[in-house]
Amino acid sequence: MSVVVEDLRRRFTEDGPPAVAGVSFTAPTGAITAILGPSGAGKSTVLRLIAGLEEPDAGRVILHGDDVTDTPVQKRGVGFVFQGYALFGHLSVRENVVFGLRVRGVPRTEAVARANELLHRVQLDGFADRRPSELSGGPRQRVAFARTLAVNPRVLLLDEPFGALDAGVRLELGEWLLRLHDETGLTTLLVTHDQPEAFALAEHLVVLLDGKVAQAGTPAELRAHPADGRLEAFLRVVSRTRPS
């Protein structure tokens, strides 16, 4: 299913510039789309508007053809993972995943079976009885993914999900995310300020600068034809490190 946003606008202050100043793009069905841009560009706000965690001043969010602009967050069918995603420290890894299912009325036996399946999918079979605090950052973030996938989201929204981890673990989790995406085929939006990460993981990129879409397209298109000088400057690091 595709994610379409039309002319989204959000302002937090009366006098300052808007955080999101008329953002439109389509994130294709079944692809990973990265929302890329420097800090303060409005990336998180756009993701939160799509999730329904934030209300737009204007504009529309359309998921799989349904206009969900006025639909509450829990009815949008979106799964959310962000940096430093909070797990329940007093529950085991398995119970953390079971929790989300029980809240949605899934009977306990079924919830446990589904949690075991999900922990297998995120390669944490052997860790189900541990506490989150006994895991290092990478596996802990994989528990967060399992908990999010437990509710069968129609769209996966990731806000710097590997942001708190060091470079080696980020790379590893990036490769893991690509495998998970191959298996699930979920339409995924990934917010990141890290150009190499965006170019390595996404099939489609939306670059935000100052609350507006500076350019959208495939990594190859952006590398070959940056829209203007500002975009070229922002992408220069990538061109140097990753020749097309």
DSSP of 141-195, one letter per residue?
Answer: HHHHHHHHHTT--SEEEEESTTTTS-HHHHHHHHHHHHHHHHHH--EEEEEES-H
| 81 in Cβ contact with 165 (< 8 Å) | no
| 58 in Cβ contact with 130 (< 8 Å) | no
Query: Within 13 A of 134's CA, how many CA atoms are on the CB side?
Result: 11
**Of the candidates 185, 197, 167, the residue with the CA atom closest to the CA atom of residue 34:** 197
Question: Nearest distance from residue 186's CB to ligand ADP, in Å?
Answer: 22
Residue number with CB closer to ligand ADP (37 or 56): 37
Residue number with CB closer to ligand ADP (92 or 192): 192
| 91 in Cβ contact with 103 (< 8 Å) | no
* Residue numbers at the binding site for ligand ADP (CB under 6 A): 12, 19, 37, 39-45
* Token pair belonging to 24: 């439109």
Residue number with CB closer to ligand ADP (8 or 128): 8
Question: Nearest distance from residue 42's CB to ligand ADP, in Å?
Answer: 4
Q: In what order do the strands lie in the sheet with 187-192?
A: 78-82, 155-159, 187-192, 32-36, 204-209, 212-217
Residue number with CB closer to ligand ADP (81 or 111): 81
**Of the candidates 46, 86, 79, 83, the residue with the CA atom closest to the CA atom of residue 161:** 83
Question: Nearest distance from residue 6's CB to ligand ADP, in Å?
Answer: 18
Residue number with CB closer to ligand ADP (19 or 216): 19
Question: Nearest distance from residue 12's CB to ligand ADP, in Å?
Answer: 3
Question: Nearest distance from residue 17's CB to ligand ADP, in Å?
Answer: 8
Residue number with CB closer to ligand ADP (106 or 191): 191
Question: Nearest distance from residue 153's CB to ligand ADP, in Å?
Answer: 21
Residue number with CB closer to ligand ADP (54 or 149): 54
- Looking at residue 119, its amino acid is L
- Burial zone of 6 (CB within 10 Å; 0-12 exposed, 13-18 middle, 19+ buried): middle
Question: Nearest distance from residue 190's CB to ligand ADP, in Å?
Answer: 12
